[in-house]
Amino acid sequence: KQEVTQIPAALSVPEGENLVLNCSFTDSAIYNLQWFRQDPGKGLTSLLLIQSSQREQTSGRLNASLDKSSGRSTLYIAASQPGDSATYLCAVGPGYSTLTFGKGTMLLVSP
Amino acid sequence: DTGVSQNPRHKITKRGQNVTFRCDPISEHNRLYWYRQTLGQGPEFLTYFQNEAQLEKSRLLSDRFSAERPKGSFSTLEIQRTEQGDSAMYLCASSSDRNTEAFFGQGTRLTVV
């Protein structure tokens, strides 16, 4: 059974810092990995999708990497802003099927 | 089409009542997923449709839960004889054949009192 772990569970940083969120998964037989953002009481917003054949994806200040063999992914956020405050979720999937999620990292960026 | 739409956004019901939620996926997406999320946890998979066919069901989906996607467009999730443990956020997602990226709706928050 696939298990996804996200570290840290919570993170508080001052505005402007660069930060890294970690995600690990137990079964490396994945097709894709997706990072999401969730604001309190809201749904999930897709940030980045990495196919298993890729090693990283970038979108604006966000960069996600994937090391499938070691079962790890990182989400790098550059020059953090208060608007980045949210819970960040990592999910892995075998393809056109279900996603297995971690519990998320709750990020607070203070002005 | 602005994304995945879920209705209602909030539902409060008494224990024992039946509730039904609706999900309208992104129009060109043929794959539709239901997840459940409780406080402090990541979403957990409930069921998955490809067009109108229900291809996967989680063991979390007890006999009181049923999902349909009759014409391969919108989907409904019904919970019969609700229990307090059913209180959660119910999330719907969709994806297309061309891309496995899943897009989620805003969810339906269910509170059973």
Model pLDDT for residues B94-106, shown as the tens digit of each residue: 998 888 899 999 9
Inform me whether the pLDDT recorded for B1 exceeds 70: no
Calculated CA dihedral for residues B38, B18, B95, A58, nearest 10 degrees: -20
Per-position b or e across B22-57, b if 16+ CB within 10 A of its CB = ebbbbeebbbbbbbbbeeeebbbbbbbbbeeebeee
Identify whether the C-beta of residue A91 lies closer than 8 Å to the C-beta of residue A101: yes
CB contact under 8 A, A99 and B45: yes
Identify whether the C-beta of residue A107 lies closer than 8 Å to the C-beta of residue A86: yes
> 1-40 in B: which are within 8 Å (CB) of A?
4, 6, 31, 33, 35, 40
Per-residue pLDDT at A90 = 97
CA distance A32 to A54: 9
Cβ neighbours of residue A94 under 8 Å, at least 6 residues apart? A29, A30, A31
Model pLDDT for residues A27-85, shown as the tens digit of each residue: 988 889 999 999 999 999 999 999 888 999 999 999 999 999 999 999 999 999 999 99
Structure token pair of residue B63: 């006999």
Per-residue pLDDT at A35 = 97
Structure token pair of residue B59: 């063991």
A98 in contact with chain B, both atoms CB, cutoff 8 A = yes
Residue of A99, A103, A105, A106 to mutate when probing chain B, most B C-beta within 10 A: A99
With left for phi above 0 and alpha for psi between -120 and 50, is residue B81 left, alpha or beta?
left
